[in-house]
Structure 1
Amino acid sequence: MLDEFEIAERNKARSVGLALTQSLTLPPLAYLIVAGTFAPEADAYRTAYAGGLLMMAALRAGGCAPAMILGWTRPDPEPES
């Protein structure tokens, strides 16, 4: 069972991960909107593929962020002797 401090720490890491995901997803979204609006002559498949790759990278980074935050901030367990 997690104590209250660990639950609060986990929730804070999830909140940071969500904020990171949202902020990293906005530039690819803006790229797709701008490329579709101002460059209709561009190759639609390549534009969509590039935007999709950028979105996937943003989602992966944001999804891994809570585990990385907790891994870096939690103290190492005491060695059992």
Structure 2
Amino acid sequence: MNTLLEGLKASKEKICVVGLGYVGLPLAVSLAKHFKVVGFDKNSKRVEALRQGIDYTGEVESKEKLLNPNLSFTDDPSA
């Protein structure tokens, strides 16, 4: 467990959050404060909006939080 945590802190590993709805998106944003995070959602329109800093659910009010360089969004399940 310590090796994983050390890898995450050293930015060698990424965390993937599956589903960017009311629970997943705030979780991804919170984790991205400390780790590299990939947020996955099957809805490509949602992913594109999040990449532009737009959250239509209103769960994340700050565009800057969505544009955090530690946070990326994808609709590609191989991520």
Task: Using structure 1 for the length normalisation, give the TM-score.
Answer: 0.24
* Greater relative contact order, per chain length (Cα 8 Å cut-off, separation 6+): 1
Which has the larger strand fraction?
2
Task: Using structure 2 for the length normalisation, give the TM-score.
Answer: 0.25
